[in-house]
Structure 1
Amino acid sequence: MRAIRVASAALLGVTALSLTAPTAHAARAGDITSFGFGVAPSTIAAGGQVILRVNGCHHRTTVSSGVFDTVTIPRGQSSATATVDWDARPGTVYEVSFQCGNESGQTDLTIASSHPTHHPTHLPTRGSHAGAGGTLAGFDLHEIGLGAALVAGSLVAAWRWSRRRTEDSSHT
């Protein structure tokens, strides 16, 4: 009888642990590259200009999307600009593809509902290559804390449940 209680508690713990895996951070194969890339701003009105940036690519980079003409960032440079088509539909999300050598990565560009205003953007030619803020090895610390709390809670509940069953059986 004790083996069943222990197995049940272990199964409950394993189930809680498996449910805390950060599946929301599962990445598409195209999202992980050896080079960094991005579009600034990530939301722009039709007709506006975006800055396409890349770092860590030792080849020329070709950037393409259905919302602007294909742009080439020459080897040794880290950015270029592209003008969004005037007929881009507001609220639409377009995929922007960066091709560096044999690797490619994608990001999204959203078309805003208003017309662009001209705000000059000055980006440095070189920037620091840093990780995502508030993460540990790509995991959000809040998610890790929540997962740990769920696992700890399920283990405590399983232990109390098995202890209560032991006390109930000793009184009979």
Structure 2
Amino acid sequence: MWEDYDPNEIFDFDPFYHPDSNPPPETSLITFVWSGGESILLISLATKIIGVKQLILEVLRIPFPVDRQELSWGGQFLRDELTLQDYNIPSETSIILLEKVKVTIYLEAGDIQYEYVIHDGTTIDQLKAKLHAEHDVVIENKVLRMGNAYLPDDAQLFAVGVVEGTTLYLVERFNA
């Protein structure tokens, strides 16, 4: 037996091979960019988006409940039932993590209110446009106010401090 042994022969041998084993899944190093900074996770591309959200909460400890997370890559929101592989997400990429927050908007008169669950990357003007489109509320020459601060139309909600449960007021714009 040993007389046939050639020490220069190269063997393609995997000591962990088992005929019933599946090949290891492809993984990717994903950077999640969110309002609190950036967090990195090595993850299987076969993972469903809902599973990615669970890992964000449990492994990265980003305090956004799974049902309040919104993931965006390549200009599209990722659907929970699909996998990273379904979106052809490449290795070492960045995914935007947004938090959905519940906000209440009172109209100037104060007797009518609307509640929205929207992601914190929404801009003030997008929120006003949504209010107009869904409820036919006149938004021309009006601003959203939070406390005593008038919010700039081009600002994202998280950038101006809008969090879960924030109350906003749609009021007349006064030119000084």
Per the normalisation by structure 2, the TM-score is 0.16
The answer to which structure has the higher strand fraction is: 2
Give me the TM-score of the superposition, normalised by structure 1: 0.16
**Higher helix proportion (structure 1 or 2):** 1
Higher RCO (C-alpha 8 Å, min separation 6): 1
